[in-house]
Structure 1
Amino acid sequence: MDKKPRSTGALSAGADTTTSAEPGERQESRDGNVRSILKAVSVLDCFSRIDRQLSVAEIAARIGIPRATAHRIVATLQEAGLLERERERDHYRLGLKLFEYGTIVLSNMDLHREANPFVEALTKVSGEAVHLCVFDGMQTTIIDRTEPERSQRHNTIVVLEASPAHCTSTGKVALAFQGEEVIRKVIAMGLRRYTANTITDPESLLNELDLIRRRGYAIDNEEKDVGIRCVGAPIRNLSGRVFAAMSVSGPARRITPARTEQLAPMVMHYAGAISAQLGYRQPGDADRSGRVFPIDLDTSSDGGQR
């Protein structure tokens, strides 16, 4: 006796439901992974040049998550080498793995690669030390430096050295061309005094930044280190945003106030040349003095990238 085939409608509907649910489940899983990554980044963001070491409780309070969750994230970051634990107490600091990533970033940066000949040329023309720095929104980090006494061959090890923005020529000139929010954030972090010449009054710093914007360069008048005077100029990326700076630095007895007026056009010229090399274009690109300084693009004696 023939039997009627059983309807597969319910099974089909169930299969369809399962199939349609799978993409949603995958999306939910992806969203969860993204949230976990963002929480991990938030943990790393808790650390700064001021807060170099933090406990799990402090991290949890800062980003507003349960302490147990913070502990799991910290443990994972420690296992990955992104955080290191202090031996004597339950505190953590950023790990050396981040420094390794930083050196990789530097080696791939257009700035580090393209600025090389201009840094050398400015050293030759000025006869002084030259620093190339990047600005991270709070401070500047030296990614390259040359000394007039050195040969044209450079060290292959890059030393990352951070400096405050409010009392160095590279820091002030980079800060001057940022938005008000960034400037206010730097001020809110505190204007630490390093020497008798350090600007520690917010209003005085704002006036200084206004002067820098008008003349196009900054002077560190023994504000970070006694006996050292520097002249810095901004470096712009393709879109025109100031993200870096370069400076000439030397003993104050040699770089007198009068000599800073001679060095300023040189620094602006080479900083502008680097900006142009990175794709920035501005009508009438030239240093304000109208003078032309030599640019030696021969890097054959460098021994390669620094």
Structure 2
Amino acid sequence: MIACAETMSIVNLHFQILYTMDQEDLVPDTKVQSLDRTFNILEVLAREPNGLTLAEVSTKVALPRSTTFRLLSVLLQREYVRKAPDTNRYRLGPGIIELSSNYLNNLELKTESAPFMRELALALGTIVFLARRQGDMMVYIDKQDQFTSLRKYAIIGEQRPLYCTALGKALILDMDDETIRNLFSKTTFQQFGPHTHTNLDSLIRDIHQSKTRGWTYDNEEAEPGMNCIAAPIRDYRGQIISSISTSWTLDSRPDLEPGKVAVHVMKAAGAISAAMGFHEKR
């Protein structure tokens, strides 16, 4: 399953809602009922740009004011709803905007990157990946190779540590040393391959080298016998929003040289970035 950040937010929200219900609400279908009621409230507020009072929300969703108030309280806490202090009217909050934005941006990114991922895969005869960052992990959001089968979707949604993957390191390429140290302050560095970074200082030295050349390299760090080259993808603000990579096994593709592969990967990353609105300053 895709462990997206927005999905986890909704799950946490739902569990909080369950605990706001009165004992008389605890019927066999309580969980489904509570979720249904919550979404009814959100849908009602979505149709009311000027907001609604507690009484109006209660009437429209046909719930007691006490139950409506408790559900709204959870939504307020999670910022899916906001309340105007002067009018006491409830409206959709920034939490909803964030979820929608993440969803739409992800769709746009995958749509814009698809032709360049295919081009890269065909040019090198390798597998191409697209990823986003989630905390100190990266998550695969798309994959492209020369085979058309259900295997394409097998890895999508899986997570890997940032510190041992080219995709992950590309996602933190703009971070300064202090930010990187804070990000990995609670991370245990595990050995996945013969060259996996086992401490922060080693990782930071790698990031410094990668910043200079503009691309990242996984030389048997995530898995023995595997190489991977990645580059960051930027949006119209110049911020890194994703990364693209290509991977190959050393024994099957001894002809591939990291530096030459990086030229193709950076070209694809640059094209996708341009499609996302990025314009490099000259």
Displacement of 1:153 in angstroms is 10
Aligned counterpart, 1:207: 205
2:210 partner letter: I
- Aligned mates of 1:280, 1:156 — CA distance in 2: 28
SS at match of 1:279: coil
User: Could you tell me which residue of structure 1 aligns to residue 175 of structure 2?
Assistant: 178
> Which residue matches 2:280?
282
Q: Offset of 1:258 from its aligned partner?
A: 6.2
TM-score calculated relative to the size of structure 2: 0.61
Shift of 1:257: 9.0
Deviation larger for 129-138 or 106-115: 106-115
CA–CA separation in structure 1 for the residues paired with 2:280 and 2:195: 35
The residue identity in structure 1 corresponding to 2:164 is C
CA contact (8 A) 2:132 2:243 kept: yes
The whole-number CA distance in structure 2 between the counterparts of 1:227 and 1:70 is: 48
CA contact (8 A) 1:195 1:223 kept: yes
Q: Deviations over 1:34-92 (max 9, x none)?
A: xxxxxx959949xxxxxxxxxx9xxxxxxxxxxxx8982699989649xxxxxxxxxxx
Cα shift at 1:268: 0.3
Corresponding residue of 1:289: none
Deviations 1:99-125 (A, max 9, x none): xx99x9379521111111011011111
Pair 1:162 & 2:109 matched: no
Check whether the contact 1:235–1:271 (CA below 8 A) recurs between aligned residues. Answer: yes
Which structure 2 segments of 5+ residues have no match?
A: 1-7, 37-98
Q: How many residues align?
A: 202
The code of the aligned residue for 1:161 comes to E
Match of 1:72 in 2: 19
Aligned 8 A contact 2:215 2:230 in 1: yes
Is the CA contact (8 Å cut-off) linking 1:133 and 1:170 kept in structure 2? yes
Moved more, 215-224 or 154-163: 154-163
Work out the percentage of aligned pairs sharing the same amino acid.
Answer: 26
Q: What is the CA-CA distance between 1:243 and the residue it aligns to?
A: 1.6
1:124 equivalent in structure 2:
122
Aligned mates of 1:177, 1:208 — CA distance in 2: 13
Runs of at least 5 residues in structure 1 that lack an aligned partner in the other structure: 1-39, 46-55, 57-68, 82-100, 285-306
How far 1:137 moved relative to its partner? 3.5
Please name the residue that 2:265 is paired with: 267
Match of residue 190, structure 2, among 188, 192, 201: 192
Q: Which amino acid aligns with 1:203?
A: D
2:137 to 133, 136, 139: 139
Superimposed CA distance per residue, residues 153-210 of structure 1 (whole angstroms, 9 cap, x where no aligned partner): 9968883111110000010111122354541233212222212211012111110010
Instruction: State the match for 2:66 in structure 1.
Output: none
**Cα gap change, 1:106/1:226 in structure 2, threshold over 3 Å: closer, same or farther?**
farther
Distance 1:216 1:118 in 2: 18
Secondary structure of the 2:164 match is coil
Distance 1:217-1:151 versus aligned 2 partners, 3 A rule: same
Distance in 2 separating the partners of 1:257 and 1:177: 31
1:176 match: secondary structure = coil
Paired residues of 2:118 and 2:145 also in contact (CA < 8 A): no
> What is the TM-score of this pair, normalised by structure 1?
0.57
